[in-house]
Amino acid sequence: MAGRKVLIVYAHQEPNSFNGSLKTVAVEELSKQGCSVTVSDLYAMQFEPRATRNDIVGCLHNSDNFSYAVEATEAYKRGCLSNDLIEEQKKVQEADLLIFQFPLYWFSMPAIMKGWMDRVLVQGFAHDFPMCYDTDMSDFMSGDIRYILWPMQHGIMHFCGVKVLEPHICFAPEHVSEEKRKEMLIAWAQRLKTLWKEEPINCSAEWYFK
Amino acid sequence: MAGRKVLIVYAHQEPNSFNGSLKTVAVEELSKQGCSVTVSDLYAMQFEPRATRNDIVGCLHNSDNFSYAVEATEAYKRGCLSNDLIEEQKKVQEADLLIFQFPLYWFSMPAIMKGWMDRVLVQGFAHDFPMCYDTDMSDFMSGDIRYILWPMQHGIMHFCGVKVLEPHICFAPEHVSEEKRKEMLIAWAQRLKTLWKEEPINCSAEWYFK
Ligand SMILES: Cc1cc2nc3c(=O)[nH]c(=O)nc-3n(C[C@H](O)[C@H](O)[C@@H](O)COP(=O)(O)OP(=O)(O)OC[C@H]3O[C@@H](n4cnc5c(N)ncnc54)[C@H](O)[C@@H]3O)c2cc1C
Ligand SMILES: Cc1cc2nc3c(=O)[nH]c(=O)nc-3n(C[C@H](O)[C@H](O)[C@@H](O)COP(=O)(O)OP(=O)(O)OC[C@H]3O[C@@H](n4cnc5c(N)ncnc54)[C@H](O)[C@@H]3O)c2cc1C
Ligand SMILES: [Zn+2]
Ligand SMILES: [Zn+2]
């Protein structure tokens, strides 16, 4: 629609690819409509996917125990995120429509685009709540935790012929007591003692979705 | 178990983190059992998550239209993958047990670990079939395509308050005819004409899992 702003976040190495053609089609059609279209061409930008200390300009909130979630949130508040992130956030903020154009890699998006999600969608900017299972968000997260294991365990490991054991999940370690955390670590060590005797799960759709 | 080999693929920036402690617990317990434990500490290694032309040493199979899947498979056969990939593949090959230690980032693994999956698990090495919906694999992939959209659409976009439209999926463009591909591109352009009038999907567990 005329006057609307569109951001296409695009992840393909090759302009002549089918993904490249889909992106071009979108730019052309939306421009024809009078939209102003911006493309974040992640490979061409050599977009950084790794969430590291480099994303925070200047001093850290707590450099003894680097927490990316905490540091990025604080840096966002203080306007101290790295420039590449500020640029992307501006584009997102202005956009009426976001299009993510990518080939499926392992039941999910390519790492370079996952890095865009991890780094650009900082708490405070893109959402207000810390993300974690086992808190206020439990309703939203209501999806069984197994739903999100499907792409990783079944899509990747089972596909490659790896036998999959039960996942070992520590819920929201940053939101529980020190004592509870110690217990979680002991439970993990305990499990490892007998891990070799465990039977693999029956890694089929039933296990994940009942 | 004594003599067994374990590979821990570990993705946290901070040794003092809870993830770091879980990793340490595993190294200690498994070493005590007499296992030989290798850790791929992805952030410390500054592991490259981006799947690019740099992963192939020397000439490309088809440099006019770079296909990562094709080039990586060919390079694996010829022993021409980049050294960091060969190293990781050796570790995987020798391992009796793989442990992936990571914090959940957006209903999935951090980008740096997703990059490990994208780049290390090359066809020919980790699996024999090209991966795609709509072929022989359809049985394995039997999971509804919507299952894998849950982490991306609901976990990321809906969580951030974005209204989600129907995804637009082109199945296996590399396995269909040129004509079919042209049709796919036209269909996408066609959809974009009226995209602005579309109603968002009802992005709840029901939509994804019925
Ligand atoms: C981009 C991004 C996306 C996210 N998406 C999600 C999501 O989709 N779902 C979700 O649930 N969460 C999500 N999170 C939250 C994330 O999974 C957690 O914050 C995770 O990082 C916690 O693990 P940690 O190792 O970093 O914990 P830390 O913050 O390092 O640890 C918690 C506490 O444990 C303490 N600790 C460390 N070692 C020990 C020990 N030996 N004994 C006792 N205490 C110890 C630490 O000092 C710290 O106080 C996301 C975070 C980010 C940054
Ligand atoms: C690490 C990895 C993991 C993967 N995991 C999965 C998975 O989990 N599930 C899955 O289904 N797939 C998976 N795949 C496959 C992947 O999704 C596809 O190969 C995808 O990349 C195809 O899109 P493309 O743009 O690269 O196609 P291309 O190979 O670029 O395109 C296919 C054909 O379209 C042609 N073409 C380009 N433009 C046009 C045009 N304008 N008109 C007509 N033809 C045109 C090209 O020349 C080419 O011949 C994976 C691939 C990799 C590398
Ligand atoms: Zn499975
Ligand atoms: Zn939703």
Q: How far is B148 from chain A (nearest CA, A)?
A: 6
Nearest alpha-carbon partner for A77 in A63, A96, A58, A64: A58
Query: Which pLDDT score, from 0 to 100, does residue B128 have?
Result: 87
- The DSSP code sequence of chain B is -TT-EEEEEE--S-TTSHHHHHHHHHHHHHHHTT-EEEEEETTTTT------GGGB-S--S-SSS--HHHHHHHHHHHT-B-HHHHHHHHHHHH-SEEEEE---BTTB--HHHHHHHHHHS-BTTTBSS---TTSGGGGGGGS-HHHHHIIIIIIIIITTT---PPP-----GGGS-HHHHHHHHHHHHHHHHHGGGPPPP--SHHHHH-
Q: Where does CATH 3.40.50.360 sit in chain B?
A: 5-120
Q: Mean pLDDT, consecutive 10-residue segments, chain A of 210 residues?
A: 95 98 98 98 98 97 96 97 98 98 97 98 91 53 82 95 96 95 98 97 93
Task: Kindly state if the Cβ of A138 falls inside 6 Å of ligand 2.
Answer: no
Stretches where chain B sits below pLDDT 70 are 131-143
Q: Report the C-alpha gap between A14 and A11 in whole angstroms.
A: 9
Distance from CA of A203 to the nearest CA of B (A): 11
- According to the model, what pLDDT value does residue A1 have? 82
CA pair distance A162, B182, nearest whole angstrom: 38
3-state DSSP call for residue A210?
Answer: coil
| Cβ of residue B177 closer than 8 Å to a chain A Cβ | no
From chain B residues 67-106, the ones with a CB under 8 A of any chain A CB are 67-68, 97-98, 100, 104-106
Whether the CB of B18 sits within 6 Å of ligand 1: yes
Query: Is residue B163 less than 8 Å (CB to CB) from chain A?
Result: no
What is d(CA B6, CA A138) in angstroms, rounded to the nearest whole number?
A: 34
Measure A108 CA to ligand 2 centroid, in angstroms: 14
pLDDT at B135: 44
- The per-residue pLDDT for A129 is 76
Does the beta carbon of A69 sit less than 6 angstroms from any atom of ligand 1? yes
Are residues A50 and B46, on separate chains, in Cβ contact within 8 Å? Answer: yes
Looking up tokens 């089609």 gives A25
% of residues, chain A, pLDDT over 90:
90
| Sequence-distant (≥ 6) Cβ neighbours of residue A109 within 8 angstroms | A11, A100, A102, A117, B114, B152
Average pLDDT, chain A: 94
**Integer Cα distance of A73 and A122 in angstroms:** 6
* pLDDT recorded at residue A136: 47
Note the ligand closest to the C-alpha atom of A160.
Answer: 3
Q: Is the CB of A67 under 6 A from ligand 1?
A: yes
Predicted-complex ipTM score: 0.96
Identity of the amino acid at B76: Y
Q: Which of B17, B97, B118 sits opposite A105 (nearest CB)?
A: B118
Distance between CA atoms of residues A25 and A31, nearest Å = 10
Atom number, ligand 1, closest to the C-alpha of residue A118 = 1
Torsion of CA A192, A108, A135, A179, to 10 degrees: 20
Nearest ligand atom owner, CA of B125: 2
Q: Does domain B5-120 have CATH number 3.40.50.720?
A: no
Residue B123 burial (CB count, 10 A): 17
Contacts of B72 in chain A (CB under 8 A): none
pLDDT at B86: 98
As a whole number of angstroms, the distance between CA A37 and CA A23 comes to 11
Choose among B4, B13, B50: nearest Cβ to A112. Answer: B50
Nearest to A26 by CA among A8, A40, A1, A53: A8
**By the CB < 8 Å criterion, does B34 face chain A?**
no
**Cβ of B185 below 6 Å from ligand 1:** no
pLDDT of A134 reads 45
CA of B149 to the centre of ligand 1 (A): 25
Closest chain B C-alpha to A120 CA, distance in angstroms:
12
Looking at beta carbons, which residues of chain B come within 8 Å of A188? 22, 25-26
Question: What was the pLDDT predicted at B136?
Answer: 47
Which ligand 1 atom is nearest residue B24's CA? 41
List the alpha helices (DSSP H) in chain A.
Answer: 18-32, 68-78, 83-94, 111-120, 145-149, 178-193, 205-209
Q: How far does chain A reach from its first CA to its final CA, in angstroms?
A: 43
CA A12 to chain centre: 18
